[in-house]
Amino acid sequence: MSTSTPPRLPDAGHVKQMAEQLWSHVADADEHAATDLVLRMLDEGTDPESVLLDVIAPVQGRVGEEWAANRISVAQEHAATAINERAVAAVSVHPAARTTVTWGRVTVACVDGEWHALPARLLAEVLKLRGWQVDYLGAQVPTPHLIAHLHSTRADAVALSSSIATRLPTAHAAITACQSVGVPVLVGGAAFGPGGRYATLLGADAWAPDARTAADRLAQGRLPRPETDHQQFDDLPHLGDQEYSMVARNSASLVRTVFTTLEDAFPAMRSYSDLQRERTAEDLAYIVEFLATSLYLDDAELFTWFITWTAQILAARGVPAHSLPPALDLLARELKDFPRAGRMLRAATHTLTTAPSTAARNTA
Partner 1 sequence: MWWLVDDTDHQLAREALHMERERTAFLAKASSTLLASLNLGRCMDVTAQMAAESLADAALTVAPARGGRLPVVTCLRGGAPAVSTLTVDPDDVPGLGEALRGFPPVPSRWIDPATAPAWMVPEGFGPVGSIVVTPLPGHGVPAGALIMLRKAEAAAFSDEEEVFTRLFAARAGAAMSAARLYAEQTAITDVLMRELLPPVLHQISGVDFAGRYRPSADHERIGGDFYDVHPAAVEGEASLVSLGDVCGKGLEAAVLTGKIRNTLHALLPLADDHQRMLRLLNSALLSSHHTRFATMVLASAVRRGSTVDLRLTSGGHPSPLIIRADGTVEQADTHGTLIGALPNISATTVEASLAPGESCVLFTDGITEAKGGPMGNVLFGEERLKRALSGCAGMPAEGIVEHVQMLAAQWLGNRPHDDMAVVVIATPRTHHLSAVNGHTRGRYTA
Site of interaction with partner 1 (CB under 8 A): 29-33, 35-36, 39, 73-76, 78-79, 81-83, 85-86, 90, 93-94, 112-113, 115, 139-140, 142, 144-145, 148, 150-154, 180-183, 222, 228-229, 251-253, 255-256, 259, 275, 278, 281-282, 284-285
CB 155 within 8 A of CB 129: no
State how far the Cα of 349 lies from the Cα of 333, in Å rounded to an integer.
Answer: 13
Of the pair 92, 213, the CB lying nearest partner 1 is at 92
Of the pair 87, 201, the CB lying nearest partner 1 is at 87
Detail the DSSP E strand segments found in 215-310: none
Q: C-beta of 195: minimal distance to partner 1 in Å?
A: 28
Name beta bridge partners: 46. 8
Of the pair 36, 329, the CB lying nearest partner 1 is at 36
Of the pair 182, 356, the CB lying nearest partner 1 is at 182
CB 49 within 8 A of CB 56: no
Q: Quick one: how many helices (H) and strands (E) in the chain?
A: 16, 5
Q: C-beta of 249: minimal distance to partner 1 in Å?
A: 10
Q: C-beta of 334: minimal distance to partner 1 in Å?
A: 15
Q: C-beta of 241: minimal distance to partner 1 in Å?
A: 22
Chain Cα centroid distance, residue 64: 10
Name beta bridge partners: 138. 109
Of the pair 73, 102, the CB lying nearest partner 1 is at 73
Q: C-beta of 228: minimal distance to partner 1 in Å?
A: 4
CB neighbours (10 Å) of residue 150? Answer: 18
State how far the Cα of 162 lies from the Cα of 293, in Å rounded to an integer.
Answer: 14
Of the pair 319, 347, the CB lying nearest partner 1 is at 319
State how far the Cα of 116 lies from the Cα of 192, in Å rounded to an integer.
Answer: 14
Q: C-beta of 131: minimal distance to partner 1 in Å?
A: 18
